[in-house]
Structure 1
Amino acid sequence: MKEQVHGALGQMTDAERKVAHTFLANYPSSGLSTVAEFAGLAGTSAPTVLRFVSRLGFSGYPEFQRALRAEIQAELLSPLEKGDSSAARSLDGSALGAYFSRATANIQATLEAIPESEFEAACALLSDPKASCYTLGGRFSDAIARYMAAHLRIVRPNVRRFQDQTSTWDDQLLDVKAGDVVVLFDIRRYQRDLVHLSELLCERRARIVLITDSWLSPISRYAKVVLPCAIDSGRTWDSGVVLMALVEAIVDRVTHRDWDSARGRIQALEHIHWNKPPAAD
């Protein structure tokens, strides 16, 4: 639903946008309160809240709240609650075929969900030669954050990763300057430590690019750019296929936004690689 709200902001009146921003900043509690309470929190009227709900395609406030509760339940699902993954088969009986079909559908859904302008905005931030770039992900997505940093480090300078120990993040924040770009990966069962880090990054006026899921991590309220991905495999484990595909698309675009600079760095790296002294016996 947060994705729906973000997508509809351009069509909302000023009063409806106040409701939308209140909903996003106080998700999900604002939407679970009464219409009057929601209106009071947003500083608008009850009819404005109902128009906001209607703008999202709901017939009324009860339907909006039912959808919100269902979304919250989906966000909190554990692998055990997603069912037995041994049952899925494609029409020809292939488990592999069924999984690849779902992955293909997720790629298409993500392509439709991310406006080209948002993708370009993320790539522009990551191409800024004056800004240092940092990446970090969650329990599983941090592997993709590492992959992204490894590629970006070749084509642009000043690429770093927040190290894994959360106890050292405060120390590493000392080097983050206003205008620096931080790519954060956070998908459902969102990590509170990443949300807290995003708050601190915002205080330091870093620009956050969030790569998240269709339900949108709470980090979205602090992010400059939000790129939502379809991750639901329909089985026990969420899928990282789209996250990886999106990262590769970003790396490719950043590489070719300033190809002369990237080419020079790649050539220098090749020279270093092929002119290393032989290892000692």
Structure 2
Amino acid sequence: MAIREQVQAALGTLPGAEKKVAHAFLANYPSIGLSTIAELAALAGTSAPTVLRFVSRLGFDSYPEFQRVLRKDVQAQLMSPLERARSSAPAADNPALKASFSVISANLEATLKAITESEFEAACELLSDHKSTCYFLGGRFTDTIAAYMAAHLTIIRPNVRHFSGQTSTWRDQLLDVRPGDVAVLFDIRRYQADLVRLGELMVERKARILLITDPWLSPIARSARVVLPCVVDANRTWDSSVTLLALAEALIDRVSRAQSSSARTRMQTLEDIHWNNPPQR
């Protein structure tokens, strides 16, 4: 796991003073982690020994080792597809299809470890709240998954919307957002600035954010109610979206089961509409 993901996973087990260090690190990631021990301790309102205990609890022998790994995390986060293509030549003795599926399988396993059952259930609770409108949006490549998820949930529950059109129209669609509404946002590395801004505007309107992102975490994570990190690094030119789609389908299935009675009613109504109004020939 990336350091930021490790810190998030450890939050519930940290002593009080070390938890302050963790919160300061997450709120000012990554810059504060690349500063001195004294600066991190001052920001967290703790001491240098507390910072060292925090770093040790994460499994690092020293603060310089912690910073070295953090720099590698940041470099990996910022790599462009072109840079990844240059650094990810497949092994000559490994068939391309088999290699690709092996990476996908490993990503699914790693994602399963990275997302706790409690966070998954918290996400399902947000998606199951019929009193709120549920909005969906993703980035350049992930919006198709957001739309896919919205299309399924529209059948299961009322008040589901997918942000549509050009980015200039997104703010128009914000007019209907009310406190307590839910925004499901997909954002992975090379994070999309307009999507991050939309998340901020959603929070200003007191919407609850469910973020589906990567292990390095989109800036939207700072204000999200629930964050589900998926492993997307496929050691090739392009990141993989398989884990994102798998997670979306797991959420759809869980919400469908939780809403079984009302979902069946809506699905039956849809079937009646379909068969009572056949397409005109």
Question: Would you say same fold, with TM above 0.5?
Answer: yes
Within 2, Cα distance between the matches of 1:278 and 1:158?
A: 26
Q: What pairs up with 1:89-128 in 2 under 5 angstroms?
A: 93-128=94-129
Return the offset for 1:202.
1.5
In 1, are the aligned partners of 2:88 and 2:235 still within 8 Å (CA)?
Answer: no
Q: What pairs up with 1:11-160 in 2 under 5 angstroms?
A: 11-84=13-86, 87-88=89-90, 93-160=94-161
In 2, are the aligned partners of 1:90 and 1:98 still within 8 Å (CA)?
Answer: no
Within 2, Cα distance between the matches of 1:53 and 1:164?
A: 45
Of stretches 187-196 and 255-264 in structure 1, the one that deviates more from structure 2 is 187-196
The one-letter amino acid of 1:166's match is T
Return the offset for 1:84.
5.0
Return the offset for 1:89.
5.2
The one-letter amino acid of 2:81's match is P
In 1, are the aligned partners of 2:21 and 2:46 still within 8 Å (CA)?
Answer: yes
Within 1, Cα distance between the matches of 2:34 and 2:180?
A: 36
Return the offset for 1:83.
2.6
Classify 1:229/1:278 alpha carbon distance in 2 versus 1 (closer, same or farther; 3 Å). Answer: closer
Deviation readout 1:237-275 (Å, 9 max, x if unpaired): 100011001100100110110101000111111111111
* Partner in structure 1 of residue 205 of structure 2: 204
> Please, which runs of 5 or more residues in structure 1 have no aligned partner?
none
Paired positions, count: 279
In 2, are the aligned partners of 1:89 and 1:97 still within 8 Å (CA)?
Answer: no
Within 2, Cα distance between the matches of 1:89 and 1:32?
A: 34
In 2, are the aligned partners of 1:210 and 1:220 still within 8 Å (CA)?
Answer: yes
Return the offset for 1:215.
1.3
SS at match of 2:176: coil
Within 2, Cα distance between the matches of 1:269 and 1:85?
A: 50
For the aligned residue pairs, the C-alpha RMSD in angstroms reads 1.6
The one-letter amino acid of 2:63's match is Y
Return the offset for 1:38.
1.4
Structure 1 moving runs of 4+ over 4 Å: 84-87
Return the offset for 1:142.
0.6
The one-letter amino acid of 1:37's match is E
Within 2, Cα distance between the matches of 1:56 and 1:87?
A: 32
Structure 1 length as normaliser, TM-score? 0.95
In 2, are the aligned partners of 1:187 and 1:212 still within 8 Å (CA)?
Answer: yes
Deviation readout 1:116-168 (Å, 9 max, x if unpaired): 11111101110011111011111100110010000010100000012242222
Classify 1:180/1:90 alpha carbon distance in 2 versus 1 (closer, same or farther; 3 Å). Answer: farther
Classify 1:268/1:3 alpha carbon distance in 2 versus 1 (closer, same or farther; 3 Å). Answer: same
Within 2, Cα distance between the matches of 1:105 and 1:218?
A: 26
In 1, are the aligned partners of 2:135 and 2:161 still within 8 Å (CA)?
Answer: yes
Of stretches 39-48 and 254-263 in structure 1, the one that deviates more from structure 2 is 39-48
Of stretches 122-131 and 199-208 in structure 1, the one that deviates more from structure 2 is 199-208
Within 2, Cα distance between the matches of 1:241 and 1:103?
A: 7
Return the offset for 1:61.
1.1
SS at match of 1:236: coil
Within 2, Cα distance between the matches of 1:85 and 1:263?
A: 49
In 1, are the aligned partners of 2:200 and 2:223 still within 8 Å (CA)?
Answer: yes
